[in-house]
Structure 1
Amino acid sequence: MTSLLDSMLWTEHALPASSAHGSVPVKIGEVGSGGPVALITAGIHGDEGPWGAWAIRQLLQSVETSALQGTLRVIPAANPLAMTADLRNAPLDQLDLNRTFPGNEKGSYTERVAHLLAQTALEGVDTVIDLHGGGSWCVNSFVFRMQGGEMLSDCFDAPFSMKAPDRAVSLTGYTRTLGKAVVGVEMGGKSGYERHWAERITKGLHRALAKVGVLSEAGTPAREYETIPVGGSTVLRPTNGGVFVPAVGPDQIGTIVPGGTILGHVYDPGCVELLETLTAPFDQTAILLLRPFITQIEGGAMTYVVAEPQA
């Protein structure tokens, strides 16, 4: 038996980087020919990259080439310099790649990455699946629902789904302007539950690729979880910086808690005085993002993302 991973052909596209690096390769893999074409990306934000790359590998390793009906293209590390630094953005120019599309061939490093993805990776695609996650400091538990890609959103068994912001400069937003079906997945992150979230994403990728005809329906994993739609998200930020101590753990990401539930505390690191308590703001509060570990935190930092469930 031959897996998609065994059959994947890889090409490297060198991008000018720093004087020390010379150039950095962006690696694009492709398997199959003809039929519907789907692109899976991960690592648009570098600190979110490893979880998406792992899920892509699990998919490629677990699916046999005989199941392929179209063409699959993958980019596990779309922003390699940012991933190397474990940062959201590449340190060379600090631009957010997901706010830079369609890029600029003669621009700075991040603008050139966006141009490469827009002109090369998106060529001929019908569907784009963009994997994000909480990264090294938080855990996420939702999927963006975008017009024309609703069926893709439903494939991922995300705890929550939310309407995507209208942002044409993101990868998925730009791809939507081209008339393609897209989905943005925001699941997983560093928490001790990495294997659970990677498996959940892997199964979602399999379902989505079968839904759009890139893979056959045979052997597609059945859905296991309910996805609850939520309204617009609310970001909870501490007024003061200090030592953050969570009151809800990573096992509660993707759950709904009663209003007033204590989510976390912020303490003065000098005299250990309690500075602030963060609580669930809605009668029924869906937890879309949380910080699972004790850490230092600055005033105004994103600490939780919450929303109200919709009937």
Structure 2
Amino acid sequence: MPTLAETIEWNDHPVASSLAYGTVDVRIGTVGHGGPVGLVVASVHGDEGPWGTLAVNRLLASVRREELLGTLRVVPVAHPLATEADARQTHLDLLDLNSSFPGDPGGSHTQRLAAVLAEHAVDGADVVLDVHGGGSWNINCFTYRFPGSEHVAEWMGTPLILDGPDRASSLTGYARVRGAVAVWIEMGGRGEFEEDRAATVTRGLRRALGKAGVLTEADLPDEPGTPATGKLPLSTSRPGIYQPVLRESALGTVVEGGTVVGHLLDPVSNEVLETFRAPFPRTALALLRPTLARIESPGQVVALVAEIV
């Protein structure tokens, strides 16, 4: 039987960029007819690596066409220029695509890109799964939920579930304004277990699309995540060298308050300038810098934690 990857119809939408590039195409795929309409997006931020795109393409390759009940739209790389540069945004305007919706067809590159995605991908969708992830500097393992999408966040199967930033200018925020149920997935990052994280996203996408009625329900066990509240970034107060104590294997676990997460070192003497500790009695580790890293300025995040109550 043919798979979704073999039957999906791809359309390239040109987005004006610069004199050097002229236009840059963003590829949007559609397969199926009728409702419900599901949308899966990856690489809204170009520095979040290939893991989301990998998970999306594995989903398409693993699902047979006969399992499709409604319509599935797919955007494997939402921000091509930023992804090419391994940067959060493009140098053309330095705008965050995930703060640019619904976009402006006559604006800068990122604003035009947001307008294309809004019109051709988000509008008319019933359920939106926006796949982000760790990148070259961090690993993470949670899903952001919003009012009305708590069940979808549970379907994704990430270790942790957090309350998301509810702003209308994000892709999920715009989708919610347009009537969709949406979640924002943060699961990925470079490391020994990167394949496991990508596999978790692929399973979560399949499970969520099945339970939402876009696909037939999959024979997958539930992988309920742990809800956490009061998310808090642990950030540096000065430049230095970050030395993690809790590394990749600690991601997604819960540690006792006071547990040392890492240290900021003087780059010359290696004197400890700052120590980062778990701030809550039961602290969930949602994002970590898992390796030695140069910190060039104050305010750099070394971990994102939340409280288990």
User: What TM-score results when the alignment is normalised by the length of structure 1?
Assistant: 0.96
For residues 199 and 254 of structure 1, the distance between their equivalents in structure 2, rounded to whole angstroms, comes to 16
For residues 195 and 108 of structure 1, the distance between their equivalents in structure 2, rounded to whole angstroms, comes to 36
The structure 1 residue matched to 2:230, chosen from 220, 229, 232, is: 232
Counterpart of 1:296 in structure 2 is 294
Q: Equivalences for 1:2-81 in 2 at 5 Å?
A: 2-81=2-81
2:47 partner amino acid: D
2:210 partner amino acid: A
Please state whether the residue corresponding to 2:102 is helix, strand or coil: coil
For residues 71 and 179 of structure 1, the distance between their equivalents in structure 2, rounded to whole angstroms, comes to 16
For residues 136 and 235 of structure 2, the distance between their equivalents in structure 1, rounded to whole angstroms, comes to 18
Q: Equivalences for 1:22-171 in 2 at 5 Å?
A: 22-171=22-171
For residues 78 and 49 of structure 1, the distance between their equivalents in structure 2, rounded to whole angstroms, comes to 12
The structure 1 residue matched to 2:247, chosen from 243, 246, 249, is: 249
2:304 partner amino acid: V
For residues 131 and 80 of structure 2, the distance between their equivalents in structure 1, rounded to whole angstroms, comes to 15
Q: CA deviation at 1:191?
A: 2.1
2:127 partner amino acid: T
Q: CA deviation at 1:192?
A: 2.2
For residues 89 and 232 of structure 1, the distance between their equivalents in structure 2, rounded to whole angstroms, comes to 27
1:78-123 CA deviation, whole Å, 9 max, x = no partner? 0111100101111111100111110100000000011111111123
Counterpart of 2:281 in structure 1 is 283
Q: CA deviation at 1:2?
A: 1.0
The structure 2 residue matched to 1:263, chosen from 261, 264, 286, is: 261
2:25 partner amino acid: P
For residues 166 and 247 of structure 2, the distance between their equivalents in structure 1, rounded to whole angstroms, comes to 32
Please state whether the residue corresponding to 1:233 is helix, strand or coil: strand
Given that 1:85 and 1:91 are in contact with CA atoms closer than 8 Å, whether structure 2 keeps it comes out as: no
Q: Equivalences for 1:172-211 in 2 at 5 Å?
A: 172-211=172-211
Q: CA deviation at 1:49?
A: 4.4
2:289 partner amino acid: R
Please state whether the residue corresponding to 2:154 is helix, strand or coil: helix
1:276-301 CA deviation, whole Å, 9 max, x = no partner? 11111111111111101111013220
For residues 47 and 58 of structure 1, the distance between their equivalents in structure 2, rounded to whole angstroms, comes to 20
For residues 49 and 115 of structure 1, the distance between their equivalents in structure 2, rounded to whole angstroms, comes to 23
Counterpart of 1:273 in structure 2 is 271
Q: CA deviation at 1:30?
A: 1.1
In structure 1, list runs of 5 or more residues that go unmatched. Answer: none
For residues 156 and 216 of structure 1, the distance between their equivalents in structure 2, rounded to whole angstroms, comes to 16
Please state whether the residue corresponding to 1:303 is helix, strand or coil: strand
Given that 2:124 and 2:178 are in contact with CA atoms closer than 8 Å, whether structure 1 keeps it comes out as: no
For residues 251 and 257 of structure 2, the distance between their equivalents in structure 1, rounded to whole angstroms, comes to 16
Please state whether the residue corresponding to 2:58 is helix, strand or coil: helix
Counterpart of 1:307 in structure 2 is 306
User: What TM-score results when the alignment is normalised by the length of structure 2?
Assistant: 0.97
For residues 21 and 54 of structure 2, the distance between their equivalents in structure 1, rounded to whole angstroms, comes to 25
Please state whether the residue corresponding to 1:47 is helix, strand or coil: coil
Aligned residue pairs total: 308
Between 140-149 and 84-93, the greater mean CA deviation after superposition: 140-149
For residues 261 and 123 of structure 1, the distance between their equivalents in structure 2, rounded to whole angstroms, comes to 45
Q: CA deviation at 1:307?
A: 0.9
1:209 partner amino acid: L
1:148 partner amino acid: G
